[in-house]
Amino acid sequence: MNPFRHRRLLLTAALMGTLFGGHGSSPRSSGAVTAVSSSEAQGWAQTGQAFLQKARETGDPTYYTRAEAVFKKALGLDPRNVEAMGGMGSLSLSRHQFREALAWGEQARAIHPSNATLYGIVGDACVELGDYPKAVETLQKMVDLRPGLSAYSRISYLRELMGDPEGAILAMQMAVDAGGPNAENTAWCVAQLGNLYWGRGDLRLAEAQYQRALVRAPDYAPALAGLARVRAAQGDFAGAAALYEQAFAAMPEHAFVEALGDVYRALGRPGEASRKYGEARALLRTEEANGADVDLEMALLEADHDMDLKDALARARREMTRRPSNIHAADALAWALYKAGDFGEALPVIRQALRLGTEDAHILFHAGMIAYRAGEREEGRAHLERALAINPHFSIRYADEAASVLRTLGEGGVSGEERKGR
């Protein structure tokens, strides 16, 4: 799997307190809520926001549990405290509980319809639920209300999903230029800009952005992991391993340790690779124990590494039931079906994942392999050619396989030497 596609580190939590400006309760709060209880509720809500920011910075899911407790305490004191409602929405997004996030965002927005942050929560939830037209409408309203880093970064992701990578890069650069309330927010956007260049196969510009992020926030885990991907694409697996270790030490994120496993596999150390995949699985289970829905991530991990195909397929089906219109849920189910050998059922599902025209080399690789095995050779060839044309470095695990299948189909594709040199 693409180790960085699955988790968009949402900016909502980090920006909530700043955008509310310390005024979380609606001016229409019930008279039953005294000034003292309202003030106390606001203090608890701001504590919850601090816990969410710590979760962002450290990757420690126990901060989500602590945030939930204080948000609920705030709402017990003042049921109309908008910052606490928004905090619950942001928390739900972080836990991948998208319908709950949408409900919290809509409830808070009904009280405070001019608050831009709430449109971000609703828009994020709509994206993850696959309601892309509503997401576009909602996030445009967010831009109209408060243009800035939080809004522009979301527009960037929408453009990426819609197959407009250049527009995505432009919007993310606007987010960087706008800046955030702390160094981590802006560093996140700079690292995301690096990921966008990476997605286009441009190692030079990707590395430049990762280095810029590290200037803003030394030892910033997403930037270190991005540099690790660049080193792996360049064939420097020892350098990649060291950077992934450094990223994981800064933030124990399962995607980093899974990617490290792929590097060990490329180095011919399968035993160490298997141990790293096991560690990634354990980290996901820890997130699950702290209230997160990790079915999509676990399904891709287990399918990619043939760890438990029965569980992978069950999780992917659950995720698709929850989010039948989301393209990444469709991609995960299609890939799990492929790994289980059900190519015929996988084919219409992966076609659904492609419906927005998203220029994602991993999804296109999945589509190409599924079509090829389902007997749709020309469709398979087209998808694999496109995957390698977009990003010939897209996976140290699968890029060579894509090129090999293309040769089988009668087209050489992009050679290993060309991939290293691009």
pLDDT digits (tens, 9 = 90+) for 364-381: 999 999 999 999 999 999
Say what percent of the chain tops pLDDT 90: 83
Does 199 map to a domain? Answer: no
Q: Is 81 helix (H, G, I), strand (E, B) or coil?
A: strand
In a domain, 88, yes or no: yes
Q: What is the mean pLDDT of residues 190-217?
A: 97
Residue 19 lies in a domain: yes
* Confidence bin at 23 (pLDDT 50/70/90): very low
Helices (H), 162-294: 165-178, 183-199, 203-216, 221-233, 237-250, 254-266, 270-289
Q: What is the structure's pLDDT at 34?
A: 65
In a domain, 155, yes or no: no
The whole-angstrom separation of Cα 199 and Cα 392 is 9
Q: Is the pLDDT of residue 7 over 80?
A: no
| Dihedral angle computed from the Cα positions of residues 370, 350, 382 and 368, in that order, rounded to the nearest 10 degrees | -30
Residue 121 maps to a domain: yes
CA atoms within 13 A on the CB side of 66: 14
Residue 81, domain member (yes or no): yes
How many structural domains does the chain have? 1
Q: In which band, very low, low, confident or very high, does the pLDDT at 411 lie, cut at 50, 70 and 90? A: low
Domain extent for 104:
9-24+37-146
Tell me the per-residue pLDDT of 76-99, one tens digit each, with 9 for 90 and over: 999 999 999 999 999 999 999 999
Mean pLDDT computed over 235-257: 97
**Is the separation of the CB atoms in 197 and 205 below 8 Å?**
yes
Report yes or no on 96 lying in a domain. yes
Number of residues that make up the chain: 422
Rounded mean pLDDT of the chain? Answer: 90
pLDDT of 238 strictly over 60: yes
Q: What is the CATH number of the domain that holds 51?
A: 1.25.40.10
pLDDT of 406 higher than 50: yes
Residue 200: the pLDDT is: 97
Residue 49 lies in a domain: yes
